[in-house]
């Protein structure tokens, strides 16, 4: 039996993630993206489930198939879909209180390397943001069947899967890809080269690659080509200076603004071979006939991005470099993804206990925060990433409480879009871990959706040797050496948050500033949720809970497990040495 999406009269229930059909019992906890905890995984750096795919496409080998020296930290290290699935099966994400996993881009990446800044080492596309083929999953990450198993397993555990999507740019041209797929102007002497004295890995540009000659009779026309990209190549349009025409990090810029119809790039046809090319062209013909879209670069990219939704039933997108693509194209992508998502669930039965939700999108609009949004209707996405928290002092009681109040008021306005806050980022570096326990507590109690960077819950990267701030945020997790104490701390906090939509989606009221005591209250229809949080308590602590719990109610501190009856609006409990109390009704 296939899953049926709800009728229009159920829309208000969908907003909170309550079951699409049937009556929800009083014990059900409604899901709302405003209270979601999203866990960002850079697939290559999380967990290695299969070692036989660690060096796909000859990565780590030169053109003569001899290994490069194993140095530097910008190489693939083996994390894959199978590793993620194994952690799902172990219950790692459930125990952590995770609602959704955001996965770095899974598509096939450039096979070769480029020089890292300064030319000191080689840099591979382990992170997923240097696209080669948008129709294939990268073999270093796994097979389509392993990706399907990952999504299905996540759903069976009640965890949603968000995939990072990049349609602003492809990856760089590497010598390995030029050689393998027949594009560019490349000297074959590159194959066994290593930098000699006075050279760096950047020296390959001048020694082996000719970027200056581009015509229909030369190899650069067989790469993406001037109809698809802006690039620093002769014969191509120059990169612009505006958001929509920039070549970010010197990457080629897809011409998402172009109205000109284009053919499939020749290097992709070379890569695919005749059988796959015929199948892909037939699929594209059907897509363009169904939609009536012109065969412009962005419409190809939209088709390929939404194939992932249609085939695997992922739950949403994190939209990379959102302000560098036209809004109308984001609306088109979202429309196609929503249609593909509905089609998937019309043909598949959800696993027991999993509640499919409307397709969800969160955009990376660099620098944006809730106080900067003048017109929410201008944002194409359901939510946007909140860049504010790394620049705020979350350990200051008055500053963090002012954020709590401002964010809860913002969320309470139905005209506003949701937002996703973080303290550590794979693009900006790790949060200061000096007061890791206190920072975790303040952050988890933030209104609105929150995003953990993989390993935040383990203080990953704290002792890493890398001096590169960004690379430090991408160090692999060492599963043999975990900080169980801080992991338990995060588990208690996030499980409490997951049980209480009031934390992310409710109203905020400070009760005392020292210790910091505040309440959250949430209601929808007949559903009510209350929570009281104490930070900085010492010893026996008397707490005013009169606005949240009635007299004679049994209240539980979810952090310590202790309980107390409410008497004259107060409970008295002995604080855990951490000073944290997470108060909820015991039933």
- The residues carrying an active-site annotation are 320, 364
Write out the two tokens for 202: 């950047």
- In whole angstroms, give the CA distance from residue 156 to residue 150: 10
Cα angle 508, 424, 507 (rounded to 5 degrees) comes to 10
Beta strands in 189-250 (DSSP E): 229-230
- Could you tell me if 40 and 162 are in contact, meaning their C-beta atoms sit under 8 angstroms apart? no
Write out the two tokens for 125: 């596309």
What is the DSSP track for 315-342? -EEEETTGGGS-HHHHHHHHHHHHHHHH
Write out the two tokens for 48: 């290695």
Write out the two tokens for 412: 């309470």
- In whole angstroms, give the CA distance from residue 193 to residue 63: 9
- Per DSSP, the three-state class of 222 is helix
- In whole angstroms, give the CA distance from residue 326 to residue 97: 36
- In whole angstroms, give the CA distance from residue 94 to residue 310: 26
- In whole angstroms, give the CA distance from residue 98 to residue 497: 10
With CA atoms as reference, report the closest residue to 94 among 45, 171, 157, 27: 157
- Per DSSP, the three-state class of 298 is helix
- In whole angstroms, give the CA distance from residue 31 to residue 38: 13
CA 327 to chain centre: 20
- In whole angstroms, give the CA distance from residue 47 to residue 198: 38
């Amino acid at each position: 039996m296939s899953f049926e999406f709800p009728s229009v009269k159920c829309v208000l229930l969908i907003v909170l993630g309550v079951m699409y059909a049937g009556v929800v019992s009083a014990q059900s906890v409604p899901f709302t993206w405003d209270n979601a905890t999203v866990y960002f995984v850079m697939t290559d750096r999380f967990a290695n489930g299969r070692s036989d795919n660690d060096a796909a496409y000859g990565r780590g080998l030169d053109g003569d198939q001899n290994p490069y020296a194993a140095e530097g930290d910008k190489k693939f290290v083996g994390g894959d879909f199978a590793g993620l699935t194994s952690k799902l099966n172990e219950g790692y994400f459930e125990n952590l209180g995770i609602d959704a996993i955001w996965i770095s881009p899974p598509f096939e990446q450039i096979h070769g390397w480029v020089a890292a800044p300064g030319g000191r080492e080689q840099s591979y596309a382990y992170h997923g943001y240097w696209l080669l083929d948008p129709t294939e999953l990268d073999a270093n990450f796994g097979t389509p069947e392993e990706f399907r198993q990952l999504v299905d397993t996540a759903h069976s555990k009640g965890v949603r899967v968000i995939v990072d999507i990049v349609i602003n740019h492809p990856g760089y041209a590497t010598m390995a890809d030029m050689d393998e797929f027949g594009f560019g102007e490349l000297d074959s002497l590159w194959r066994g080269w290593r930098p000699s004295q006075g050279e760096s890995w950047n020296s390959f540009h001048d020694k082996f690659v000719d970027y200056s000659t581009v015509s229909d009779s030369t190899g650069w026309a067989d790469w993406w080509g001037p109809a698809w990209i802006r690039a620093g190549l002769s014969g191509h349009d120059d990169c612009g200076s505006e958001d929509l025409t920039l070549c970010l990090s010197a990457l080629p810029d897809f011409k998402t603004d172009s109205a000109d119809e284009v053919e499939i790039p020749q290097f992709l046809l070379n890569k695919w071979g005749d059988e796959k090319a015929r199948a892909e062209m037939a699929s594209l013909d059907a897509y363009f006939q169904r939609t009536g879209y012109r065969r412009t670069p962005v419409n190809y990219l939209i088709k390929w991005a939404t194939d992932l939704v249609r085939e695997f039933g992922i739950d949403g997108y994190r939209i990379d470099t959102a302000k560098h693509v036209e809004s109308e194209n984001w609306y088109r992508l979202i429309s196609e993804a929503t249609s593909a998502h509905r089609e998937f669930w019309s043909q598949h039965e959800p696993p027991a206990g999993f509640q499919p939700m409307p397709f969800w999108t969160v955009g990376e609009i660099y620098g944006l925060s809730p106080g900067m949004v003048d017109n929410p209707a201008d944002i194409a996405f359901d939510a946007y990433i909140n860049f504010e928290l790394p620049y705020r002092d979350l350990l200051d009681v008055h500053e963090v409480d002012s954020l709590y109040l401002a964010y809860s008021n913002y969320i309470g306005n139905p005209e506003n879009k949701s937002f996703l806050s973080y303290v550590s980022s794979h693009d900006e570096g790790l949060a200061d871990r000096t007061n890791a326990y206190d920072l975790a507590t303040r952050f988890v109690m933030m209104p609105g959706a929150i995003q953990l960077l993989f390993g935040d819950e383990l203080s990953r990267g704290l002792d890493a040797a890398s001096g590169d701030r960004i690379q430090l945020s991408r160090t692999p997790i060492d599963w043999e050496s975990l900080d169980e104490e801080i992991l338990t701390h995060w588990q208690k906090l996030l499980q409490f948050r997951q049980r209480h939509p009031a934390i992310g989606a409710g109203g905020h009221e400070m009760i005392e500033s020292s210790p910091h005591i505040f309440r959250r209250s949430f209601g929808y229809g007949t559903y009510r949720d209350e929570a009281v949080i104490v930070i900085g308590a010492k010893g026996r602590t008397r707490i005013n809970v009169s606005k949240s719990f009635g007299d004679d109610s049994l209240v539980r501190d979810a952090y310590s497990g202790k309980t107390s009856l409410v008497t004259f609006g107060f409970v008295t409990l002995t604080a855990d040495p951490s000073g944290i109390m997470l108060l909820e009704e015991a039933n």
